């Protein structure tokens, strides 16, 4: 409920406490508005490190931070643990699962993406994606349990299947998962079992395109492939998937049997975006105006990886966290300008600070403008950047110590099956 002093203030509702939504909320600090940030979870998740939770490198609390704690010093902001079910742009209200109807003056959609199975949603139970902490825990559970079963399995063929991991998708998520799975099995789990040799586990990365990490320069893609193969990952390119069943990936040239199958092949916007009366691209992303407003939805902005936008420089804006944060700042400036009766800021232009992808211990690739590098230097740069953007001092310290411990001792402490 709004207090008396807040009833006449413009109400800005932000759906989503990810990078973009949180940045937009922070940039409205001190503005003469009431900001309500709504999220289905009570924490901000540092998604770039989510794969490390799935592969037992980090524990969940190390990459998540309570949203209320982050915004505790912002007097004009309140946090609501709830889920938006529908948006009525004409009436300017949203329907919430627990709180019912809520009116807004300005609405910022920062709801993020979900896993895209490209019309094959029945594959999801057999090949889970990686978008939430629950997803990460489920993947870790499946992998570790497979090796526990292999330890007591007497049938060699069945044991081999239990120790095979298939990752679908050669983007950043798939590459990072495949590399981390290989290191986990060959460097960490190899010490823990007596009846099996986890170092002989088979990690396979499947990619439909002619190369992995298609967003990077071809030379870096090739470097990433070589680095993966040096870890023992089998990289298969030009692979068309016909079907996925329990423990089986059907390919055009045969079937792969594996106990652990993980999907990292694509994303699409959250379901609440589906019914918005605006133009969308083939993936369902919202085609927004240059100022990030949603056409046909007065007072509604969209930011992050739910957006399809060619920016003021004529470049497509990628669905990455730096872009989401820049969008959040731009929308906050637009809202402040509108409230003050000032001209809006110039159209959104993305400042590309570069791209990185980690493959494993001392292995990574990076490109910053025309500068491209790989190996140890790229890996150290990747570590530094992720520590800088991780929210919360305790989280930064915990992750740094865990990384140092793992690097020195080849150990991972988050190998719990629950």
Residues 345, 327: Cα–Cα separation, whole Å: 12
176 is catalytic: yes
CA angle 234, 240, 246 (to 5 degrees): 75
Q: Which of 62, 153, 160, 176 is catalytic?
A: 176
Residues 376, 364: Cα–Cα separation, whole Å: 7
Residues 241, 252: Cα–Cα separation, whole Å: 7
Three-state secondary-structure class, residue 146: helix
Residues 378, 365: Cα–Cα separation, whole Å: 5
With tokens 């680095």, the residue in question is 227
Q: Which two tokens stand for residue 389?
A: 């953007």
Q: How far is CA 156 from the centre of its chain?
A: 37
Three-state secondary-structure class, residue 239: coil
Q: Any idea what DSSP says for residue 32?
A: S
Compute the 3-state secondary structure of the chain and give helix, strand, coil in percent, each to the nearest 5: 35, 25, 40
Q: In what order do the strands lie in the sheet with 300-302?
A: 77-81, 34-39, 11-15, 106-109, 300-302
Contact 204, 236 (CB under 8 A): yes
Residues 228, 360: Cα–Cα separation, whole Å: 8
Give the containing element (helix H, strand E) for 293: none
Q: How far is CA 355 from the centre of its chain?
A: 15
Contact 259, 158 (CB under 8 A): no
Beta strands per DSSP E along 258-362? 260-263, 267-269, 286-287, 300-302, 307-308, 355-360
Three-state secondary-structure class, residue 44: strand
Output the CA–CA distances (angstroms, integers) from residue 158 to 47, 151, 155, 262, in the order listed: 34, 11, 5, 19
Output the CA–CA distances (angstroms, integers) from residue 407 to 6, 255, 384, in the order listed: 51, 36, 15
Beta-bridge mates of residue 65? 44
Provide the annotated active-site residues: 176
């Amino acid at each position: 409920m709004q207090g008396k002093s807040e009833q006449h203030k413009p109400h800005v509702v932000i759906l989503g406490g990810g990078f973009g939504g949180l940045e937009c909320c922070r940039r409205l600090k001190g503005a003469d508005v009431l900001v309500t940030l709504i999220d289905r979870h009570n924490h901000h998740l540092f998604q770039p490190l989510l794969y490390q939770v799935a592969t037992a490198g980090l524990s969940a609390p190390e990459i998540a931070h309570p949203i209320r704690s982050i915004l505790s010093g912002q007097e004009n902001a309140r946090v609501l643990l709830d889920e938006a079910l529908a948006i009525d742009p004409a009436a300017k209200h949203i329907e919430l699962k627990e709180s019912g109807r809520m009116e807004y003056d300005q609405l910022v959609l920062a709801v993020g993406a979900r896993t895209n199975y490209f019309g094959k949603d029945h594959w999801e139970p057999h090949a889970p994606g990686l978008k939430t902490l629950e997803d990460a825990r489920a993947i870790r559970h499946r992998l570790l349990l497979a090796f526990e079963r292999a330890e007591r399995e007497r049938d060699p063929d069945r044991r081999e299947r239990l120790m095979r991991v298939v990752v679908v998708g050669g983007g950043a998520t798939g590459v990072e998962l495949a590399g981390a799975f290989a290191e986990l099995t060959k460097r960490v789990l190899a010490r823990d079992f007596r009846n099996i040799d986890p170092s002989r586990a088979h990690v396979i990365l499947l990619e439909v395109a002619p190369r992995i990490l298609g967003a990077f320069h071809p030379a870096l893609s090739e470097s990433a492939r070589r680095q993966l193969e040096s870890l023992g990952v089998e990289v298969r390119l030009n692979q068309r998937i016909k079907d996925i069943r329990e423990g089986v990936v059907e390919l055009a040239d045969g079937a792969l049997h594996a106990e652990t199958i993980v999907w990292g092949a694509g994303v699409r916007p959250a379901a609440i975006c589906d019914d918005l009366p605006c133009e969308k691209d083939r993936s369902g992303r919202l085609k927004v105006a240059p100022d990030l407003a949603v056409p046909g939805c007065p007072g509604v902005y969209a930011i992050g990886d739910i957006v399809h936008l060619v920016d003021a420089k004529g470049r497509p804006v990628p669905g990455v966290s730096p872009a989401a944060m820049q969008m959040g700042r731009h929308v906050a400036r637009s809202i402040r300008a509108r409230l003050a009766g000032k001209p809006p800021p110039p159209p959104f232009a993305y400042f590309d600070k570069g791209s990185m992808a980690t493959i494993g211990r001392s292995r990574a690739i990076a490109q910053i403008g025309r500068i491209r590098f790989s190996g140890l230097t790229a890996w150290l740069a990747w570590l530094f950047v992720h520590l800088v953007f991780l929210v919360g001092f305790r989280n930064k310290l915990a992750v740094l110590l865990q990384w140092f411990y793992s690097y020195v001792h080849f150990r991972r402490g988050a190998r719990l099956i629950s």
